Chain A
Amino acid sequence: MTTDDAYPPRAADQGGGEDGPGGVDGPRGVDGPRGVDGRGTPVGRRLVLGMLAAGAAGIAAGPVLQRAYDSTLGAAAQNDPTGLSGLLPAGGGFRYYSVTGSVPHKNERTYRLTVDGLVRRPTSYRLTDLRRLPQTRIVHDVQCVTGWRVPGTPFEGVRLATLLDAAGVSPRAKAVRFTCFDGAYSESLTLAQARRRDVLVALRMQDKPLGHDHGGPVRLYVAPMYFYKSAKWLSGITVTDRVEPGFWENRGYDVDAWVGRSNGRDDAPTS
């Protein structure tokens, strides 16, 4: 907004339209406001400045307000059968993110998970093969780097370390790269991170088989990191000699995505 202080507020002569042509000030040129327009209190400028002040106050008070919202309405939205609260900002629950236009569906018959790269025994698993391996169930909060958090979410599946051991990792290996059957997404972990006990190849979430929208039938689950590390629609595990940044990491996200210690965020750790 610009304002023009050449037109000072004049309280006395604002009777509502009795200003004749030119008024007291005389003509103002072809495009300049005349009559009652362009006179009076600069409420517009005050409103703009007021919005800026309110915005700054909102930034300052935001963390406190967000916590209050999460613990009241946000928590209530978790159990909202209508789903309408999903329209509200940070309305709780998971949000669907896909980097591609459409993602193919995979089932018992069509799904395969390959383990290859710097391993002695490259392997391909079907869903039934994965279900026969020892299953681990862990319960932690899920924290997205965009701010939403879903408390106490159970994931169940095979420890990634189990699959790596079965394949026989070469001594030259330093990292693991993950690829997905959406055709675009990728992720990576160092070998040490990949061997953690809270890193799973997950088959179940919230004690149900993993649905397509949540990355089913199989997704990665990296409990201590922001949720973009937990690649959905997992189809390939490749052992490599160095960390290759994944999809979002090539777009500015941190490779070591510890919750609360990366991406400029200070969320409470999840694991």
Chain B
Amino acid sequence: MPRPADRTGEPTAGDTAPARIPRFTRAERQVHRATATLLTLCILTAACLYLPFLAELVGRRALLVTVHEWSGILLPVPLLLGLASRALRADLTRLNRYGPHDRRWLHSTLRRRRTGRPSGKFNAGQKLYAAWLAGAVLVMTATGLLMWFTHLAPVIWRTGATFVHDWLALAVIIAVAGHVWMAFGDPEARRGMRTGSVDAQWARREHPLWAAEARQDRPPETHHPPTGGAGP
């Protein structure tokens, strides 16, 4: 990949801080935080309603039901509000579209290879997770509403809705646990979601195509404000 010869955020001798690349805007981080909070509430209340040993410990079914219903119905709201953000819409486009490099990434990952895994801002696994979870949340919301407002739909729908809601809940919990596990193993990815920017070397290693693009997009001054004419 061609690399411009000027200063590009590469840490060089004399740099005081490692170069950082902006990854998520404040709006995106708030959408993520609100969604994560609602989903956590939803999963925890579901566990207390469903698992006998937690139900015995916690009791208070009427309160748990109310919290579960409302955290569930509100789950899509942060993302819908976030559509007002241009950066978020741009990231949704990135998540939606799959290029040939995504196939290569999946191919390498499924063979447990650490190399030959090119990715843009999001790798193919992250893209699959995002779309799968978005679909799952919509299905959970729809089936949850059928169970909540029992007189809206024929009885037979409700049995099916309960069946789908139960089993998809199990799948969602496994997927979200995987998401948290991956984040647990990657402090820099977590820092990106917490502070909004990531280390440039991390970006080149994990998201090389995006790092190259970010370097071309952003004039160097935005990362390294010239202080007193400093320069190599």
Task: Tell me if chain B binds chain A.
Answer: yes
Residue ranges of A at the interface with B (Cβ–Cβ < 8 Å): 1-4, 7, 9, 14-17, 21, 30-45, 47-52, 54-55, 58-63, 65-66, 86-90, 95-103, 146-147, 213, 247, 251, 263-266
Is B120 a contact of A98 with CB atoms below 8 Å? Answer: no
User: Which has the most chain B C-beta neighbours within 10 Å: A31, A55, A100, A101?
Assistant: A55
Given contacts A35-B120, A63-B160, A63-B163, A51 and B136 within 8 Å (CB-CB): yes
Summarize B's interface: helix, strand, loop or mixed.
Answer: helix
> With an 8 A cutoff between CB atoms, is B74 at the interface?
no
CB-based nearest A residue for B49: A97
Q: Given the complex of chains A and B, what is the CA–CA distance between A47 and B129 in angstroms?
A: 10
Min Cβ gap B28→A in Å is 11
Determine the chain A residues whose CB is within 8 A of the CB of B86 once the complex forms. 31
Min Cβ gap A21→B in Å is 5
Given contacts A7-B93, A42-B96, A55-B164, A98 and B56 within 8 Å (CB-CB): yes
- Can you spell out 16 A-B residue pairs with CB atoms less than 8 angstroms apart? A1-B92, A1-B95, A1-B131, A4-B89, A17-B208, A17-B209, A17-B212, A32-B90, A36-B209, A38-B90, A39-B97, A51-B132, A59-B161, A59-B163, A96-B52, A266-B159
B32-40, B58-66, B182-190: which one contacts chain A? Answer: B58-66
Interface string of B40-60 (1 = CB under 8 A from A): 000000000011100110111
Considering only residues 98-139 of chain B, those with a C-beta below 8 Å from chain A are 98-102, 104, 118, 120-122, 127-128, 130-132, 134-136, 138-139
Min Cβ gap B75→A in Å is 14
CB-based nearest B residue for A102: B59
Given contacts A98-B56, A99-B59, A43 and B96 within 8 Å (CB-CB): yes
Is B99 a contact of A36 with CB atoms below 8 Å? Answer: yes
Q: Given the complex of chains A and B, what is the CA–CA distance between A39 and B151 in angstroms?
A: 45
Given contacts A17-B101, A50-B135, A89 and B166 within 8 Å (CB-CB): yes
Determine the chain B residues whose CB is within 8 A of the CB of A88 once the complex forms. 170
Is A213 a contact of B56 with CB atoms below 8 Å? Answer: yes
Q: Given the complex of chains A and B, what is the CA–CA distance between A43 and B101 in angstroms?
A: 13
Determine the chain A residues whose CB is within 8 A of the CB of B60 once the complex forms. 98-101
Min Cβ gap A142→B in Å is 15
Contact of B96 among A1, A52, A90 (CB under 8 A): A1
> With an 8 A cutoff between CB atoms, is B230 at the interface?
no
Min Cβ gap A28→B in Å is 9
Is A99 a contact of B61 with CB atoms below 8 Å? Answer: yes
Q: Given the complex of chains A and B, what is the CA–CA distance between A51 and B156 in angstroms?
A: 21
Determine the chain A residues whose CB is within 8 A of the CB of B210 once the complex forms. 35, 37
CB-based nearest B residue for A58: B164
Is B159 a contact of A63 with CB atoms below 8 Å? Answer: yes
Residue ranges of B at the interface with A (Cβ–Cβ < 8 Å): 1, 50-52, 55-56, 58-62, 83, 86-87, 89-90, 92-102, 104, 118, 120-122, 127-128, 130-132, 134-136, 138-139, 142-143, 146, 150-151, 155-164, 166-170, 208-210, 212-213, 216-217
CB-based nearest B residue for A103: B59
Contact of A38 among B56, B94, B131, B142 (CB under 8 A): B94
Given contacts A34-B213, A41-B98, A264 and B164 within 8 Å (CB-CB): no
Given contacts A55-B164, A62-B162, A1 and B134 within 8 Å (CB-CB): yes
Determine the chain A residues whose CB is within 8 A of the CB of B56 once the complex forms. 96, 98, 213
Q: Given the complex of chains A and B, what is the CA–CA distance between A227 and B159 in angstroms?
A: 18
Determine the chain B residues whose CB is within 8 A of the CB of A266 once the complex forms. 155-156, 159
Determine the chain A residues whose CB is within 8 A of the CB of B127 once the complex forms. 43-44
Min Cβ gap A3→B in Å is 5
> 4 additional contacts, CB 8 Å, given A48-B135, A99-B61?
A1-B130, A35-B120, A51-B139, A213-B56
Min Cβ gap B168→A in Å is 7
Is B162 a contact of A37 with CB atoms below 8 Å? Answer: no
Is B166 a contact of A31 with CB atoms below 8 Å? Answer: no
Given contacts A51-B135, A96-B56, A100-B60, A16 and B118 within 8 Å (CB-CB): yes
Q: Given the complex of chains A and B, what is the CA–CA distance between A37 and B50 in angstroms?
A: 41
Min Cβ gap B49→A in Å is 8
Determine the chain B residues whose CB is within 8 A of the CB of A15 once the complex forms. 100
Is B99 a contact of A14 with CB atoms below 8 Å? Answer: yes
Is A43 a contact of B163 with CB atoms below 8 Å? Answer: no
Determine the chain A residues whose CB is within 8 A of the CB of B95 once the complex forms. 1, 44
Determine the chain B residues whose CB is within 8 A of the CB of A66 once the complex forms. 159, 162-163
